[in-house]
Amino acid sequence: MAAIAADLQQAGLWLTESKRVAALTGAGISAESGVPTFRGKDGLWQGFKATDLATPQAFARDPKLVWNFYNWRRELLAPLQPNPAHKALIRLEEKIPQFSLITQNIDDLHRRAGSKNLVELHGNIWMVRCTRCHLVSRNEEVPLPELPACEECGGLLRPHVVWFGEQLDPTILDKAVAAIRSCDIMLVIGTSALVQPAASLAIVAKEQGARVVEINLEPTPYSHKLDLALQGKAGVLLPQLVERLE
């Protein structure tokens, strides 16, 4: 406990001295809101792994199955609320002159909490994209029809999220990299740091001289390369960290 308090103190001091802060979040920040993480045992749906359904191949083979999976996720996510970790990031954004939040999450919880300068690397579950005319729009209908159609051209809609095996939107990735390249300190919160290119963002930050602080329930493959790795719940540690700036 004393070690965590000292680490929080140290991270708080670094934040106080920083003008530019970037935060990268993953599924772990939403776990306390009730969102299942990807690699936890609760990440299964009807015996399928999320990693087998969130792919372009699965959608080409069986779009109804993939939409069933997304309808289930939309139903699950619709009532969930931001937790103290999401809210602590709002307070941080208010205090830091230049704050960028980069998330791998598609759950919308940062937006619902009120984050403003937000980069959603993997898209958003409430956005859909037409596979024919490529129109992107927000759609909060729950559930959507088994095979939802584009209002403009009637083409088949797909979730506007990045699936396994797909490239990230280069404009969005550039925005994230620019924030990381110019930050004084980076917070890496609730991500297993296994999926590229998000995982290497912490290394980019370190290489350009920023301090990197991780908050995670457990050590990750990157923990030992970072300046501090705080172990515990994001919903507990982040508010305590931000309190140190108040």
Q: What is the DSSP letter of 41?
A: G
**Of the candidates 70, 185, 216, 242, which one interacts with ligand OAD according to CB under 6 A?**
216
Per DSSP, the three-state class of 23 is strand
According to CB under 6 A, which residues from 32 to 51 bind ligand OAD? 32, 37-40
Among 122, 134, 160, 224, the active-site one is: 122
**Of the candidates 74, 110, 122, 160, which one interacts with ligand OAD according to CB under 6 A?**
122
According to CB under 6 A, which residues from 78 to 117 bind ligand OAD? 104
Alpha-carbon distance of 27 to 107, in angstroms, equals 9
What residues contact 137, with CB distance under 8 A and at least 6 apart? 127, 128, 151
**Of the candidates 18, 33, 100, 192, which one interacts with ligand OAD according to CB under 6 A?**
192
Measuring CA to CA, how many Å separate 84 from each of 7, 42, 90, 127? 20, 22, 10, 25
| Residue ranges with strand state E in 9-105 | 20-25, 44-45, 48-49, 98-103
CB nearer to ligand OAD: give 53 or 182: 53
Q: Residues 164, 106: contact at Cβ < 8 Å?
A: no
Alpha-carbon distance of 49 to 188, in angstroms, equals 25
Is 122 known to be catalytic? yes
Per-residue contact flags (x/-) with ligand OAD for residues 157 to 176, judged by CB under 6 A: -----x-x------------
Alpha-carbon distance of 92 to 100, in angstroms, equals 10
User: HSE of 32 in the Cβ direction (CA atoms, 13 Å)?
Assistant: 18
Q: What is the DSSP letter of 11?
A: H
Query: Which span sits near ligand OAD by CB under 6 A: 28-36, 89-97, 145-153, 171-179?
Result: 28-36
In the complex, what is the shortest distance from the CB of residue 13 to ligand OAD, in angstroms, rounded to a whole number? 22
CB nearer to ligand OAD: give 21 or 193: 193
In the complex, what is the shortest distance from the CB of residue 154 to ligand OAD, in angstroms, rounded to a whole number? 28
CA of residue 40 relative to chain centroid, distance: 16
Q: Which residue minimizes CB distance to ligand OAD?
A: 28
In the complex, what is the shortest distance from the CB of residue 229 to ligand OAD, in angstroms, rounded to a whole number? 11
**Of the candidates 84, 148, 159, 190, which one interacts with ligand OAD according to CB under 6 A?**
190
Alpha-carbon distance of 163 to 79, in angstroms, equals 24
Residue 32 belongs to what H/E stretch?
A: none
CB nearer to ligand OAD: give 32 or 52: 32
Tell me the catalytic residues: 122
Point out which residues bind ligand OAD (CB under 6 A).
26-28, 31-32, 37-40, 54, 104, 122, 162, 164, 190-192, 194-195, 215-218, 220, 233-234
